[in-house]
């Protein structure tokens, strides 16, 4: 039973990644998956995030995360500023261009996900189980 469920979840994860890659391409975003993850994380909070926080969320060390942030900054998708009161901490925020791009990709992805949901009809109990499963995935998001 567990192996069957793991297999099902693996197909779900692969499909979800494919939907995201498709949305990034459709938005003509020219982003790596790691760059997308950074935009996704940074866009969650208007006050921005420190590079260390971003690195933790995307499962990377601070140095590679910092390089990704630098690339996004050169493209005008994020801005950096010193965080108060500790000026050693650099705060990363989305620029208007970054917010627009993030919103466009999320909208395209949402459309594909809605299309998938139209194919599947779920009972209220199944919907609740899916919500619990999504909640279990939160630490990885």
pLDDT along the chain (141 residues), means of 10: 85 94 94 95 91 92 94 96 74 96 97 92 90 90 80
Helix axes 33-42, 51-58, angle to 10 degrees: 120
Q: What is the structure's pLDDT at 109?
A: 96
d(C-alpha 50, C-alpha 90), whole Å: 6
Instruction: Let me know: does 51 contact 86? Beta carbons within 8 Å.
Output: no
Domains of the chain: 2-140 (1.10.10.10)
CA dihedral sign, ordered 46, 51, 56, 59: positive
Whether the Cβ atoms of residue 87 and residue 80 lie closer than 8 Å to each other: no
CA 117 to chain centre: 20
**Integer Cα distance of 112 and 19 in angstroms:** 7
Q: Which residues contact 60 (CB under 8 A, 6 or more apart)?
A: 34, 68
| pTM of the complete model | 0.87
Residue 73: how many other CB atoms lie within 10 Å: 15
pLDDT of residue 1: 62
């Amino acid at each position: 039973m567990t192996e069957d469920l793991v297999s099902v979840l693996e197909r779900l994860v692969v499909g979800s990644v494919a939907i995201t890659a498709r949305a990034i391409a459709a938005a003509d975003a020219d982003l790596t998956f790691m760059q997308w993850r950074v935009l996704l994380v940074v866009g969650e909070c208007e006050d921005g995030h420190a590079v260390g926080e971003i690195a933790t969320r995307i499962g990377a060390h601070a140095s590679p995360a910092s390089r990704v942030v630098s690339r996004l900054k050169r493209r005008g998708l994020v801005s950096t500023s010193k965080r108060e009161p500790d000026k050693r901490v650099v705060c990363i925020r989305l620029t208007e261009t970054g917010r627009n791009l993030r919103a466009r990709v999320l909208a395209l992805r949402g459309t594909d996900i809605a299309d998938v949901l139209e194919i599947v009809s779920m009972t209220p109990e199944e919907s609740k189980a899916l919500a619990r499963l999504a909640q279990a995935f939160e630490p990885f998001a």
